[in-house]
Amino acid sequence: AQSVTQLDSQVPVFEEAPVELRCNYSSSVSVYLFWYVQYPNQGLQLLLKYLSGSTLVKGINGFEAEFNKSQTSFHLRKPSVHISDTAEYFCAVILLSGGYNKLIFGAGTRLAVHP
Amino acid sequence: DVKVTQSSRYLVKRTGEKVFLECVQDMDHENMFWYRQDPGLGLRLIYFSYDVKMKEKGDIPEGYSVSREKKERFSLILESASTNQTSMYLCASSFRDRGFYFGPGTRLTVT
């Protein structure tokens, strides 16, 4: 069963425009939530994570995400994007089920920032 | 900074060959993972290990095996490589669940 759904496979946007990358998860247990970024020909880099506490999480490079438990969402936002934000973004979740905790990924969203 | 290194960035192998992908982490992390990344599918977990000599199957273990003889090293083995194993392979390590650190990846092509 798919635990993480990224609703958009590709998001084109103009430079300096705001962007939202959507992520929904399915779980009956508590979760930890993550966003990773992969720049072309590079490995994965952690953008931000939600473990507990404030539902608004700020990450690197001006990104932030909000954990919404009722809607089981963890959307990523940036108020003004740059060309350098062009990359693939992955939402991921750890289901705190009491067993061995694994990081489960969504299919990814390719963000393309145009001048 | 945590460093996760993988033995090769690019690898080309023939069908039927035995392939070893090596991963080393330098932060004494207890957990290590192997994922494969394919377009439109994201990252899928192949195997993981939570301690030396311990291993657990992930979501797609068929055709793969792993070895963890030392805490810092986690090897992925393709017993008999096939063309459908052409992919990007990513290794990761973690300390508890607080952060997963990824290596740069190995792009494997099986011809």
pLDDT in tens, B16-36: 999 999 999 998 888 999 999
Give the pLDDT of residue B61: 96
On the question of pLDDT at A106 being above 80, the answer is yes
On the question of pLDDT at A2 being above 60, the answer is no
Give the pLDDT of residue B98: 66
What's the whole-number average pLDDT of chain A?
Answer: 92
> Is there a contact between A105 and B100 if contact means CB atoms under 8 Å apart?
no
DSSP state of A3: -
Contacts 24+ apart (CB under 8 A), B84-88: B85/B110, B86/B110, B87/B36, B87/B37, B87/B38, B88/B36, B88/B37, B88/B38
| Measured distance CA(A37)–CA(A33) in Å, rounded | 14
Does B54 lie at the interface with A, CB-CB under 8 angstroms?
A: no
pLDDT, one tens digit per residue, over B37-82 is 998 899 999 999 998 989 999 999 999 999 999 999 999 999 999 9
Give the pLDDT of residue A20: 97
Give the pLDDT of residue A47: 95
Overall average pLDDT of the A2-28 stretch:
93
Give the pLDDT of residue B91: 96
> Is there a contact between A32 and B90 if contact means CB atoms under 8 Å apart?
no
Give the pLDDT of residue A30: 86
Closest CA of chain B from A53, distance in Å: 14
Selecting from B41, B98, B101 the residue whose C-beta is nearest the C-beta of A107 gives B41
Residue B86 half-sphere exposure, CB side, CA atoms within 13 Å? 9
Does A13 lie at the interface with B, CB-CB under 8 angstroms?
A: no
Overall average pLDDT of the B79-94 stretch:
96
Residue A46: which H helix or E strand, with range? strand A44-50
Taking alpha carbons only, the member of B23, B44, B26, B24 closest to residue B35 is: B44
Task: Calculate the CA B97 to chain-centre distance.
Answer: 18
Selecting from B40, B45, B90 the residue whose C-beta is nearest the C-beta of A43 gives B90
> Is there a contact between A103 and B103 if contact means CB atoms under 8 Å apart?
no
Closest CA of chain A from B45, distance in Å: 8
On the question of pLDDT at A112 being above 90, the answer is yes
> Is there a contact between A107 and B42 if contact means CB atoms under 8 Å apart?
yes
